[in-house]
A and B are shown apart, each in its own frame.
Chain A
């Protein structure tokens, strides 16, 4: 695949910034107006802003998966919403049960430790490396013990679910995308859709309920209130947890991409897969790593999503809308760019949770904001808010 790189003089397009400034000014004016008429107090806006941050962080985590994969192989991973679903339901599976019967514990631990070994293998480069072997054996024993003695706490369920989902991501690439490297993009789109069909319905076989309660034992879901400017902000402790976890994961991801050898290989592949291969980068390994990372983040988002809303809708629809919206967020921020995905996610969270607080008439339409914004961005600046120019040459 030859991608022509035309060097153009840098021209700053002011239109999006004018629109952005206009929207921000409008929102600020509305806030000031509502405050001055005494309709709402400052605490109300603080609460709305916090919940916007909460939802935005979740979108950002999912959007990172889209942007990582797109950055490396220019593929819109349509099945990513279902990866997010797998993450949420896998963690439910892990914490909701009473201690596992031994065969189940061995089975689950087998899958999880296979994932662990795969991840270690990506890092160490070969399967027979002592670190990989010891990690696998210790992981297997530890997980079997943990599962068969007591049910897991949500943190361990989350960590395990992230591993398992990471492996699901790798398998997704292995089954549906790797055989089609170099094939027309439309084939990749179809296999992606086929895989999401498959995962949705496989999930539906296991979880048929419309609402699966998601209430692990934790104090993080309790209410939180604090005084602000003479009144009280009511929220939940999730408002601390979600941005914190997101920040942690994004930091780890950034460090991984910028500091490690494999991260360097990822950046090289993103620039030019063929040249990277010639320089000795194992491109297939890099792509597998990318899917692993994206899926791990999606799984974390899935668990936090479950904690935040207290229940999961049925698997066939659970990942659909969050996936589509997060994808819109990734494009809005600039697909292929990591900060872009975070900015897009936060912006979307802000639009969905803060703007309806200001303009009560639009509440019913908040689910469309992502798509309106997507179309506007596509029309005025297809590269997204901070993305590089990836305007497609078909």
Chain B
């Protein structure tokens, strides 16, 4: 069965559009960077949340780890930018493995609760350990090393970084979606007992998905950190960011390749648009929008589309 799961041609089209956009006059780089970052973050979240079916509301922790690793690694430990991001990814993997082995015994909404709790603990640690993290006042990244002579504070550079990030996360998901790992994850999502009966170790698959998801999220966190250049623990580790990442993926359609990307496009663009039109009330409308989509499109946009296509094909085959 051919799934509506994307192909290299689609990815190529995505990259081509991404490369072409800055050539247009009057490009709003901040908006596009935010958009690309959220495409990457939501797709990373979806590896655990959609493909493996473990709804996490703690992914902001990984964004925070990535961003803080960049800032602290370069400014306190004297690393170059690339090693600092690598450090962040490494820490995120270790953290995800530890976190997962602690909490994967919990099912469904209990797992979700534990993710909220752990991210919250991490946030308060980032606020309280001011000697290391800058504390509640936040952390300014005043200077960054320039890998390959690239100025990481320049919006255009950040844009291409974000594009590379989003495209590689999408490529990663595409690569495993049709492979063995993708099937294993879906098997765990649909029925853990049945998956176990067919020789899959559910905990191992979940741990692997969590580590991958966390690593890619931390990578995005590094780019996000360079883009923000001011790290606020009240934002980076906090529940609203986790919720935003998760919602983006869910509304687009979880467990699909392009769902999270579509969700990001549909959520980030209006949110930014409303910000300029409605000023204070932008998130008000954002909330309403989410409500309406969930009430009328419960499977997410790509999910409903897939279902529609499947039904049509079924009807045709049945004559």
Interface residues on A, range: 35 or more
* A198 close to chain B: CB less than 8 A: yes
Residues of B with C-beta under 8 A to A370: 117
Number of A-B contacts (CB under 8 A): 113
Residues 88-118 of B, flagged 1 when their CB comes within 8 A of A and 0 if not, give 0000000000000011011111101110111
Whether the Cβ atoms of B124 and A368 lie closer than 8 Å is yes
**Smallest CB separation, B287 vs chain A (Å):** 3
Distance of A194 Cα from B284 Cα, bound (Å): 9
Interface of A is mostly: helix
* A9 close to chain B: CB less than 8 A: no
Residues of B with C-beta under 8 A to A194: 247, 287-288, 290-291, 294
* A372 close to chain B: CB less than 8 A: yes
We find that the number of chain B residues with CB closer than 8 angstroms to chain A is: 38
* A371 close to chain B: CB less than 8 A: yes
Interface residues in A182-210 (C-beta closer than 8 Å to B): 183-187, 189-191, 193-202, 204-205, 208
* A392 close to chain B: CB less than 8 A: yes
Distance of A180 Cα from B291 Cα, bound (Å): 11
Residues of A with C-beta under 8 A to B116: 324, 371
Distance of A202 Cα from B103 Cα, bound (Å): 36
Whether the Cβ atoms of B128 and A364 lie closer than 8 Å is yes
* A394 close to chain B: CB less than 8 A: yes
* B273 close to chain A: CB less than 8 A: no
Residue B117 contacts which of A187, A193, A371, A391 (CB distance < 8 angstroms)? A371
* A374 close to chain B: CB less than 8 A: yes
* A382 close to chain B: CB less than 8 A: yes
Residues 117-143 of B, flagged 1 when their CB comes within 8 A of A and 0 if not, give 110110011001000000000000000
By a beta-carbon cutoff of 8 Å, the part of chain B in contact with chain A is 55, 102-103, 105-110, 112-114, 116-118, 120-121, 124-125, 128, 239, 243, 247, 250-251, 280-284, 286-288, 290-291, 294-295, 298
By a beta-carbon cutoff of 8 Å, the part of chain A in contact with chain B is 76, 175-176, 179-180, 183-187, 189-191, 193-202, 204-205, 208, 320, 324, 328, 331, 364-365, 367-368, 370-372, 374-375, 378-379, 382, 391-392, 394
Some 14 contacts from A to B, beta carbons below 8 A apart, are: A76-B109, A176-B291, A179-B295, A184-B298, A189-B112, A194-B247, A197-B284, A199-B287, A324-B116, A365-B128, A371-B116, A371-B117, A379-B103, A392-B109
